[in-house]
Structure 1
Amino acid sequence: MTEPLQTEPVIVRRAGGVLFATLNIPATRNALAPEVVAALAAAVEQAETDAEVRALVLRGAGGMFSAGGNVGNFQARLDADASREDPVATRNRQFGYFMQRLSALPVPVIAAVDGAAMGGGMGLACAADIVLATRDARFALSETTLGIIAAQIAPFVVQRIGAAATRRLGLTGERIGGEAAVAIGLVDQLAADSAELDALVAEWLTRIGRCGPNANRVFKTLVSRCGQEPAGPLLDEASRLFAECMRSEGAEGVAAFREKRDANWTVRFDADAVRTAQSSR
């Protein structure tokens, strides 16, 4: 059973401790208009603050993940008063703040890409921890074909696929399919079609559902600090976090292992549950 939390432009439903956020403006190919980003930010905030949320799944309605930036709004930004602060730069940076927040979200994020993920849409996928896609999905850093750049998503794309692949895609506007996306590390696993993608999402959510919810939050946050802080102090902190986990969820996890049973936090998903939670109806 799912609980509707929000309607357009992003439908957010909750099932089994997972938030399913479905971009839902097919007429614009789920472009990342301000109202869409605001709705996504609200879902991220809920996942940040609600300890019962265990994962976030991003998907697009209408057979399209996201076409990226809303080109229809570009001219209005160019016409706005730039005497004090450039509105183009301001709006662009606002999206970057959202990307930082999404990337730093302490719960696992799954991007389920059916159709195209262009520009900022590809950036959304790159900020996820697990990217699943249909075989006929398409990805591109298409900004340069419009004479602009993939500005706020660049660090997240580089982190996901590396600088060389990012340069190749960004400097050519090349569109790649699912198999090529797997080859460069953008996509983790492919599905044959949308129905199989639902089953694949269910499989990965079931894997996440076997993990301690707090342990996942602590681990993801710890990993984000690796390479950013000196190893010695970070490992000191990691030992304290390990002990805290051991004395909380760890006690149940070890007991479940010894007794050959599921831990009390275990949740399983099937394709029907995923399909219902992601429905735009």
Structure 2
Amino acid sequence: MRYETLAVQQRDITLFITLNRPQARNAMSLKMVEELNQAFQFANQNPDIRAIVLRGAEGHFCAGGDIKDMAGARAQSSNTGDEDPFFALNRAFGHMITQANHASQVVITVLEGAVLGGGFGLACVSDVAITAAGAQFGLPETGLGVVPAQIAPFVVTRVGLTQARRLALLGERFDGHEAVRLGIAHYLCESPEAIEATLDDVLNKVKRAAPDANRVTKALLHQVGTIEMEQLLDQAAHHFAAAVQSEEGAEGTMAFVQKRLPHWAQ
């Protein structure tokens, strides 16, 4: 597929998606949202892809939503009686971030420079987040007179309601050290070389995990708090029984006994 706002490349088990609007600090346009949806759909249809790496071009992850799109929506709103274009614009981002949140792959974000607004939201739905110490995080929406509407629920899930209130209502800005302390990011890196070394290490760990077991485990984790506990544990037991009896389970057990790597880790 051809992309205008992304650079997308598959290497081994990983799909690398780079937000590629460096002239705008990779601000998220509606076109970028559409292309991210397409990239996630491609990954969902390709079982060979076991990890997705999201990062930004030329030193910034994402500076939030593109203000030009809001201006375009305002012009559209005055010229048409159709669906509210501001609603459609905001909701399109919500559909994309939900798709990212529920991707069956391990989603890894590499956070550098600006990690604001929508970029902050993407960080909050990643399974693993690697941050530069000097990255700048924040939710600037209320300072612009708007609302972090599609992002807020994912921020609450990531850091808890108490911290989310502070971050959203004060528009706090903070660096990678604080992002790790809050649980937004997992790995803190002091140099570009450390970021690349950490990313390589994380991808090697993903490769050692069985693909189907990882997919089922991620889906199970997403169900916590959404259904009654006994029902969840019943489902989990069925998943466990199926995994033990699967080809993947047999291979994993045999590899352990024979003191070798299972085929998916080679």
Return the TM-score normalized by structure 1.
0.90
* Match runs of 1:61-80 below 5 Å: 61-80=57-76
The answer on whether the counterparts of 2:117 and 2:140 sit within 8 Å (CA) in structure 1 is yes
Letter in 1 for 2:257: R
How far has the Cα of 1:85 moved from its partner? 2.0
Point out where structure 1 has 5 or more consecutive residues left out of the alignment.
Answer: 268-281
* Match runs of 1:17-166 below 5 Å: 17-81=13-77, 83-166=81-164
In structure 2, the residue corresponding to 1:62 is in which secondary structure?
helix
- Number of residues of Structure 1 aligned to a counterpart in Structure 2: 263
What whole-Å deviation, never above 9, does each CA across 1:236-259 have from its counterpart, x for those lacking one? 222221122112211111111111
The answer on whether the counterparts of 1:135 and 1:192 sit within 8 Å (CA) in structure 2 is yes
Return the TM-score normalized by structure 2.
0.95
Asked if residue 252 in structure 1 is aligned to residue 248 in structure 2, the reply is: no
Tell me the equivalent position of 2:6: 10
The answer on whether the counterparts of 1:6 and 1:13 sit within 8 Å (CA) in structure 2 is no
Alpha-carbon separation, structure 2, partners of 1:34 and 1:264: 41
In structure 1, the residue corresponding to 2:148 is in which secondary structure?
coil
The answer on whether the counterparts of 2:19 and 2:26 sit within 8 Å (CA) in structure 1 is yes
Asked if residue 218 in structure 1 is aligned to residue 202 in structure 2, the reply is: no
Q: Which has the higher contact order (CA 8 A, sep 6+)?
A: 1
The answer on whether the counterparts of 1:23 and 1:60 sit within 8 Å (CA) in structure 2 is yes
In structure 1, the residue corresponding to 2:59 is in which secondary structure?
coil
The answer on whether the counterparts of 2:33 and 2:92 sit within 8 Å (CA) in structure 1 is no
Point out where structure 2 has 5 or more consecutive residues left out of the alignment.
Answer: none
Alpha-carbon separation, structure 2, partners of 1:95 and 1:181: 23
Letter in 2 for 1:43: A
Letter in 1 for 2:176: G
How far has the Cα of 1:147 moved from its partner? 0.7
The answer on whether the counterparts of 2:8 and 2:15 sit within 8 Å (CA) in structure 1 is yes
For the aligned residue pairs, the C-alpha RMSD in angstroms reads 1.3
How far has the Cα of 1:170 moved from its partner? 1.1
Alpha-carbon separation, structure 2, partners of 1:84 and 1:56: 36
Letter in 2 for 1:14: Q
Alpha-carbon separation, structure 1, partners of 2:229 and 2:134: 42
Asked if residue 207 in structure 1 is aligned to residue 205 in structure 2, the reply is: yes
